[in-house]
Amino acid sequence: HVFVGIFPNPFSTSASLTINGAVNNLNATLHIYTILGQEVRSIYMGNKINTILTRGNLTTGMYFYKLVKNNNETIATGKFIVN
């Protein structure tokens, strides 16, 4: 299993995103969606297990994320809040 941690959550400017678990050869992309299902950002992670998630153009609210391997297999999902 693969687990994604976002800290702090909620956040206002940036958060640390960490991928834990079976992370060998992930070659993954993180997709971020509004609560209406509109994709607002796609972050190529490759085989990295850490990155900084910046607010950028994300407005205040709840967002959902999906971590997807290059074969379109969803390996983790979750949500975070921007305030």
9-57 tens-digit pLDDT: 999 999 999 999 877 778 899 999 999 999 999 999 998 999 999 999 9
Residue 43: other Cβ atoms inside 10 A: 16
- Whether the Cβ atoms of residue 75 and residue 67 lie closer than 8 Å to each other: yes
Query: Structure tokens of 58?
Result: 């994300």
Provide the whole-model pTM.
0.92
Distance between CA atoms of 6 and 76, rounded to whole angstroms?
A: 12
Confidence at residue 2, expressed as pLDDT on a 0 to 100 scale: 87
